[in-house]
Amino acid sequence: MLADLARQLEKLDADGLTRRPPTLQAPCGPVATIDGRTLISFASNDYLGLANDPAVIDAAIDGARHWGVGAGASALVSGHFAPHAELERRLAEFVGYPRALFFSTGYLANIGIVPTLVGRGDAVFADRLNHASLIDAVQLSRADSHRYPHGDLAALERLLVSRPARRRLILTDAVFSMDGDVAPLPELLDLAERYDAWLVIDDAHGFGVLGHQGRGSLDHCCLKKSPRIVYMGTLGKAAGVSGAFVAAEATVIDWLLQRARSHIFTTASPPLLANALLAALDLIAEGESRRMHLAGLRAQLRSGLADTRWRLLPSPTAIQPVLVGDNHEVVAVAAALAERGLWVPAIRPPTVPAGQARLRVSLSAAHATAHVSQLVDALRALD
């Protein structure tokens, strides 16, 4: 086995696909320190700059002093503390659903939701560009899996017409993590209603960023309330901390609480993090100026690159991908940017389809306009 793994690693290397996690020596923020070097970072999903916010840090410290550092057990046994309960109540109210359930991560939330709602003999209809956690969730569920081309409502409708099943679930990212575009949520809900399916929406990149007060993609799309919607938001991106939640009808949440294995068989998230998240939620709700600044940075980047060879995907969000195509070229461009003191991740297959390697520029309200100017100048110099 070792020889076989070594051969496969060599092949990854030859294809320009070897990945190594950089070790950071300073907190998450617009400027990163790696190997003693300082780089302007466009690499995190800390879209509102809350990961190192003083009020959130204070809430975490207060939380640690009051609640200690560990939850001690899974939520159902003895790990569900007052800050968890308060957070679930506040999150449900914030996104406008009757109840919410807190998970330790978005990955765990997704692999909890899908197998709890569907199983053998049921059917799942999933956008091809959905996040890996939703793809894994479908496999775990053992439901029949039907994938439709990205955003292709006609293809989805054909599948819904031709694939009957006891229960049917449409699964979609709300904001696609490597493209930054927003799913056609009202149209998806319309199809769910017409063809008796449910709609699971993963809003990892919309919660906190899109919609009134950062309430997320449902608000952004003016989606009407529906009992068919199961909404998942993550709390490690715009919320700056860690964790995720599912919001839905009370019956759905109660069922998840009884059955979601990734909630039941894992130690609960430390209550100090729930405490920090309560503070982050206040900052999200009051964060209009952060979101305005973020929108300004996005406009600055797009207009700065408009007359160059760099092709920005048409994203209305903080995720601004620059399509390059070739794996080796994207690595070379990222290296050239790094030489100029800029850190932009090169995203390659299998994270994106073959031939669509890209730079994933991730903007944050913590960036100054000068940071974006440096990125624009460097990309123009490499044009």
Q: Which residues are annotated as a binding site for pyridoxal 5'-phosphate?
A: 106-107, 177, 205, 234
Q: Tell me if residue 237 is catalytic.
A: yes
Site for ligand PLP in 176-195 (CB under 6 A): 177
Nearer to ligand PLP, 126 or 333 (CB): 126
Q: Is 173 in the site for ligand PLP (CB under 6 A)?
A: yes
Cβ(243)–Cβ(211) under 8 Å? no
Tell me how far apart the terminal alpha carbons of the chain are, to the nearest angstrom.
45
Q: Point out the residue whose Cβ comes nearest to ligand PLP.
A: 106
Count of chain residues binding ligand PLP (CB under 6 A): 14
- Judged by phi (left if over 0) then psi (alpha if -120 to 50, else beta), residue 196 lies in left
Which tokens hold the place of 236? 């490690």
Options 64-72, 99-107, 218-226, 247-255: segment touching ligand PLP (CB under 6 A): 99-107
Stretch near ligand PLP under the rule CB under 6 A, chosen from 23-31, 106-114, 152-160, 285-293: 106-114
Annotated binding site for substrate: 19, 131, 351
Q: 205 catalytic, yes or no?
A: yes
Per-residue x/- track, 126-155, ligand PLP (CB under 6 A): -----x-x----------------------
Q: Note whether 375 and 40 are within 8 A (CB).
A: yes
Query: Which of 286, 343, 297 lies closest to 319, judged by CA?
Result: 297
**Interaction of residue 101 with ligand PLP, rule CB under 6 A:** no
* Residue 321 and residue 315 in contact, taking contact as beta carbons nearer than 8 Å: yes
- Work out which of 244, 260, 324, 376 binds ligand PLP, going by CB under 6 A: 244
The answer to whether the CB of 235 falls within 8 A of the CB of 244 is yes
Who contacts 100 (Cβ-Cβ below 8 Å, separation ≥6)? 88, 89, 91, 92, 245, 246, 247, 253
**Using CB under 6 A as the criterion, which residues of the chain lie in contact with ligand PLP when the complex forms?**
105-107, 110, 131, 133, 173, 177, 202, 204-205, 234, 236, 244
